Amino acid sequence: MNDWDIVGHEWAVELLSRDLAGGRLRHAYLFAGPPGIGKRTLALKFAQVINCLSPSPLPPVPAGEAAGVRACGECRPCTLIAKGSHPDVPIVHSGVPSSTTSSRRPSTATRNSPGEGRSIKIDQVRDLERQVSLAPYEATYRVPILLRFHEATTGAQNALLKTLEEPPPQVVILLTADSPDLLLPTIVSRCDVLNLRPTSIAKAKEALAQRRGVAGERAELLAHLSGGRLGWAVRMSEDEERLAQRNERLDKLLGLIAAPRRARMAYAEALAKRPREEVYELLDLWLTWWRDVLLASSHAGAPFANADRIEIIRGLADRIDPERARAAIEAIRKTGEAIDRNANLRLALEVLALDLPALK
Ligand SMILES: [Zn+2]
C-alpha cells in the first residue's frame, strides 16, 4: 500500500502527486492497462487529491523536488468524489449521460443497464464540453473522468480531441482505457499516459486477505489467476460462480476459433437467446482475449488480461498476425455498437461469429 491508500502503482502516485504539488498539472491524463488493474480507482483518487479541502503533505522528498500530497478522504469534495456525485467531477461512461446538474443518478460510476448502449457517444462528449467551458461550481478544478474510453465511438473520440487541442483553464481531463493502442493516436499524444502495471502476486494476495478477508488458499489462487490485477481478483472473490463462468466462456471461445462455420452459427444462434447483459459480458471477455493476442503478436510487452492463459495466447499469436487480431477487436466493438442501436441480435452475433479469426 502506498501514500494514497492504493495497492501498487507507487510510481504513478508519486508522479501525479508531484505534478500537483509542483503546479505542473497536465490538461489530460490517460490511465491505461488491462481491466481490473485499478485505473478507475487511481483516477478517482487523483480527482480527490486535486480538489481536497485539507490535503496533507507526504513525507519529505529529495531536495529540489516538491513534496506530494494526499487527500483527507473526509471533506465534502473527497466524500462526493468517492460517491461519484461531485458536480465538478462528472464521470462519463458507456451510455449514461453525465450531467453536473442531473440528480437522476446519484452515482454514475456504475455499469449502464441493458438497452442504454455501452459506448460513450458523441452527445455525451459534447455535453461534457459545454460543462467544462464554464468555471468550476465549487472546486478548484473541474476533473471530468471518462471511463473505458476505448469503447467510445470514433465520433466521440474526435469530439474530445477538440477539447484536448484547446483545453479550457482549470480543467484536468482523466481518461481510462484498456490500452492506448485502442484509442486514436491523436488523443493519446495529447495526454500524459500512465501505463499501469499489475502489482506483484504476493501483494495482490496480501491485499485480498487483509482488505477483503479472502481465505488463504483462495486468495493465493485468485492472485495468481489475476496476474496481479487486484480489481479483477476482488470481483472474482465476491462471486464464486464468476470465475467458473469466465473459464467456461474462454474454453468455448477457443473451441470456436477452431470450429467450422456451421458450429459458429449455431453458437451465435444460441447466444442470441441469452439476456443482453450476458452478451455484453461475453463481448467484453472476448475483447480482452483478442487484445491479449494482439499484444502478444506485436510483442508490445504490456501486461495481459488473461494472465493464466499466457501459453495459449502466445501460441495463437504465432499463428494470427496483429492485423487479424486488430480486426477481431474492431469486429467485437462494432457488434457491441450494433447491439446498442438495437440491431437484430442474432444477425449481429452471426456476423461476428463469421468475422472472428479461424484456425484450421
Ligand atoms: Zn479531502
> Which pLDDT tens digit goes with each residue over 205-226?
999 999 999 998 889 889 988 8
Confidence of residue 103 (pLDDT cuts 50, 70, 90): very low
Total-model pTM: 0.78
Residue 13 CA to ligand 1 center (angstroms) comes to 16
Residue 103 CA to ligand 1 center (angstroms) comes to 23
- Residue holding cell 496480501? 206
pLDDT in tens, 229-253: 999 899 899 988 988 999 999 999 9
Residue 28 CA to ligand 1 center (angstroms) comes to 22
Confidence of residue 106 (pLDDT cuts 50, 70, 90): very low
What percent of the chain stands above pLDDT 70? 90
Burial bucket for residue 187 (CB in 10 Å: 0-12, 13-18, 19+): buried
Confidence of residue 62 (pLDDT cuts 50, 70, 90): low
Distances from the Cα of 169 to the Cα of 24, 74, 125, 353, angstroms: 13, 27, 18, 47
Residue 303 CA to ligand 1 center (angstroms) comes to 33
Burial bucket for residue 61 (CB in 10 Å: 0-12, 13-18, 19+): middle
Burial bucket for residue 258 (CB in 10 Å: 0-12, 13-18, 19+): exposed
Higher local confidence (pLDDT), 67 or 351: 351
Superfamily of domain 10-195: P-loop containing nucleotide triphosphate hydrolases (3.40.50.300)
Residue 51 CA to ligand 1 center (angstroms) comes to 7
Residue 159 CA to ligand 1 center (angstroms) comes to 32
Residue 224 CA to ligand 1 center (angstroms) comes to 35
State the DSSP H helix or E strand holding residue 273, giving kind and residue range, or none if neither. Answer: none
What is the rounded distance in angstroms from the CA atom of residue 241 to the CA atom of residue 96? 28
Q: Kindly tell me if the per-residue pLDDT of 127 is higher than 60.
A: yes
- Whole-number pLDDT of residue 294: 93
What is the rounded distance in angstroms from the CA atom of residue 157 to the CA atom of residue 203? 36
Confidence of residue 341 (pLDDT cuts 50, 70, 90): confident
Residue 53 CA to ligand 1 center (angstroms) comes to 5
Residue 251 CA to ligand 1 center (angstroms) comes to 46
Residue 87 CA to ligand 1 center (angstroms) comes to 15
Residue 144 CA to ligand 1 center (angstroms) comes to 18
Residue 72 CA to ligand 1 center (angstroms) comes to 4
What's the CATH number of domain 239-355, 3.40.5, 1.20.272, 1.10.10, 3.90.930?
Answer: 1.20.272
Coil vs helix vs strand at 195 = strand
Higher local confidence (pLDDT), 51 or 96: 51
The β-bridge relationship of strands 56-57 and 28-32 is: unpaired
Least trusted range by pLDDT, from 19-33, 55-69, 199-213: 55-69
What is the rounded distance in angstroms from the CA atom of residue 34 to the CA atom of residue 297? 16
Residue 50 CA to ligand 1 center (angstroms) comes to 9
Residue 4 CA to ligand 1 center (angstroms) comes to 12
Q: Provide the residue ranges of all domains of the chain, joining segments of one domain with +.
A: 10-195, 199-238, 239-355
Among 112-126, 129-143, 261-275, the range of highest mean pLDDT: 261-275
Least trusted range by pLDDT, from 26-30, 57-61, 68-72, 319-323: 57-61
- Whole-number pLDDT of residue 359: 81
Confidence of residue 21 (pLDDT cuts 50, 70, 90): confident
Residue 21 CA to ligand 1 center (angstroms) comes to 15
Give the closest residue to 48 by CA, choosing from 28, 11, 22, 20.
20
